[in-house]
């Protein structure tokens, strides 16, 4: 099968199209013919071996010291079931599905996944739209649930135009809370269109100095000032770090211990029931994916370059023909 691989870390041009062995589904796995995948900042970080400050060594031990252990990037995908393992009961050949692969591997024509790690594709979404959902929406859902977001609360989302932030804005509204999205000037109207009650331009307004307080601060970009952020949290408020460096984590741990503010961190878990929850919201018209650009599989390096430029407003799709 065709796949985009990389055998060394570096700029987007380390990515190349190659022929690799097609995987065979195990007993409880399904073989998926991928129709679409995405390029996220996470993929770019993996390709360039870029880790948050303080985590370079653990990251390299995990993904490969001298070269990547997994040569195929890509975490989210949509496609059709091509074959199933002997013990699979939930799917059959031809079923349209979408999912998230924490083990990467989606920049390819095929991928094998456990049957309980994928779900039926939302009926009202194209393959491209469905591929743009899993990583960002599952991450936002996971952290908002850990912060116990509920009706009547005030939630601040930093990086509201990003891959996780745009879904966080939408899900906060689903949970009945008031959401303020923080983004750049150029992306304010787009964040408003997602349902944000308030939008703040970080280039000219500091959320820690405008007199507002919040029940939850969700930092998807890792750039919030820890001490000042905790100061504008309500009593027993939740400070959620989706992305963080080692120093920021230690600082947040120490300062939160000295107050009644609660620090929330974690690692996303792959659950088909969460995908089904998101599918129901999508089919009810309460959650949507916004696509910026689409590239063919052989243009994946160009797609990486575009994502790293910081220009995207929405998701960048790789279509697999």
Residues 6 or more apart from 259 whose CB is under 8 A from it?
230
Compute the average pLDDT of residues 141-159.
97
Q: Could you read off the pLDDT of 58-88 as tens digits, one per residue? A: 888 888 999 999 999 999 999 999 999 999 9
Architecture of domain 136-264: 3-Layer(aba) Sandwich (3.40)
Whole-number pLDDT of residue 169: 98
Say which residue the tokens 């009547």 belong to: 152
Task: Assess whether the region 2-133+289-319 and the region 136-264 belong to the same CATH fold.
Answer: no
Residue spans per domain, the chain: 2-133+289-319, 136-264
Q: 177: Cβ–Cβ under 8 A, 6 or more apart, which residues?
A: 149, 150, 151, 152, 153, 154, 155, 215, 216
Q: What is the mean pLDDT of the chain?
A: 94
| Average of per-residue pLDDT across 253-277 | 87
Architecture of domain 2-133+289-319 in this structure: Alpha-Beta Complex (3.90)
Instruction: Break the chain down into helix, strand, coil percent, rounded to 5.
Output: 30, 25, 40
The pLDDT of residue 106 is 98
DSSP state of 68: -
Task: Give yes or no for a contact between 287 and 309, defined as CB atoms under 8 angstroms apart.
Answer: no
Neighbours of 176 (CB within 10 A): 11
Q: Where are the alpha helices (DSSP H) in the chain?
A: 41-48, 56-63, 127-131, 134-146, 165-174, 188-193, 226-231, 246-257, 272-283, 300-308
- pLDDT of residue 51 exceeding 90, the answer is no
In this prediction, residue 227 carries a pLDDT of: 92
- What pLDDT shows up at residue 58? 80
Percent of the chain with pLDDT over 70: 100
How much is the pLDDT for 311?
85
- Residue 269: Cβ-neighbour burial (10 angstroms; 0-12, 13-18, 19+): exposed
The pLDDT value recorded for residue 135 is 95
Write down the pLDDT at residue 244.
Answer: 83
Residue 54 has pLDDT above 80, yes or no: no
Q: What is the mean pLDDT of residues 109-120?
A: 96
- Taking residues 30-49, report their average pLDDT: 96
Q: Are residues 222 and 241 in contact, defined by beta-carbon separation less than 8 angstroms?
A: yes
Dump the DSSP string for 176-196.
T-EEEEEE-GGGHHHHHHTT-
For 140-144, what is the mean pLDDT? 97
Instruction: Note the pLDDT of residue 251.
Output: 86
Mean pLDDT of 243-256: 84
Is pLDDT above 80 for 294? Answer: yes
- Residue-wise pLDDT for 182-241, tens only, equals 999 999 999 999 999 999 999 999 999 999 999 999 999 998 999 999 999 999 999 999
At 307, the pLDDT band (50, 70, 90 cuts) reads: very high
Over residues 241-258, the mean pLDDT reads 85
pLDDT at 272: 84
> Picking from 6-10, 32-36, 201-205, 244-248, which range would have the lowest pLDDT averaged per residue?
244-248
Confidence band, pLDDT 50/70/90 cuts, at residue 10: very high
Residue 191: per-residue pLDDT: 96
Please state, in angstroms and rounded to a whole number, the distance separating the CA atoms of residues 9 and 73. Answer: 12
Strand partners of residue 76: 100
- Global pTM reads 0.94
């Amino acid at each position: 099968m065709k796949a985009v691989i990389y055998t060394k870390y570096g700029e987007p041009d380390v990515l190349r199209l190659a022929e690799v062995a097609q995987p065979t589904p195990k007993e409880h796995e399904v073989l998926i013919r991928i129709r679409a995948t995405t390029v996220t900042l996470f993929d770019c970080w993996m390709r360039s071996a870029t880790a948050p400050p303080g985590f370079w060594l653990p990251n390299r031990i995990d993904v490969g010291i001298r070269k990547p252990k997994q040569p195929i990037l890509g975490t989210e995908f949509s496609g059709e079931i091509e074959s199933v393992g002997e013990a699979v009961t939930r799917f059959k050949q031809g079923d349209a599905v979408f999912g998230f692969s924490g083990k990467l591997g989606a920049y390819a024509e095929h991928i094998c996944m456990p049957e309980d790690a994928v779900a039926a594709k939302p009926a009202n979404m194209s393959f491209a739209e469905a591929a743009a959902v899993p990583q960002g929406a599952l991450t936002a859902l996971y952290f908002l649930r850990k912060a116990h977001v509920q009706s009547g609360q005030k939630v601040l989302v930093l990086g509201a135009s990003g891959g996780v932030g745009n879904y966080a804005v939408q899900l906060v509204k689903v949970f009945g809370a008031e959401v303020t999205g923080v983004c750049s000037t150029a992306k304010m109207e787009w964040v408003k269109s997602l349902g944000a009650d308030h939008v703040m331009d970080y280039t000219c307004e500091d959320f820690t100095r405008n007199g507002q307080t919040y029940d939850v601060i969700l930092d998807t970009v890792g750039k919030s000032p820890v001490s000042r952020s905790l100061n504008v949290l309500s009593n027993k408020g939740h400070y959620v770090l989706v992305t963080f460096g080692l120093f920021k984590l230690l600082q947040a741990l120490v300062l939160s211990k000295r107050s009644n503010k609660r620090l929330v961190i974690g690692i996303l878990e792959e659950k088909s029931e969460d995908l089904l929850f998101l599918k129901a919201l999508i089919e009810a018209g309460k959650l949507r994916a916004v696509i910026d650009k689409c590239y063919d599989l052989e243009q994946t390096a160009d797609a990486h370059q575009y994502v790293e430029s910081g220009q995207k407003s929405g998701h960048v799709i790789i279509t697999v023909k």
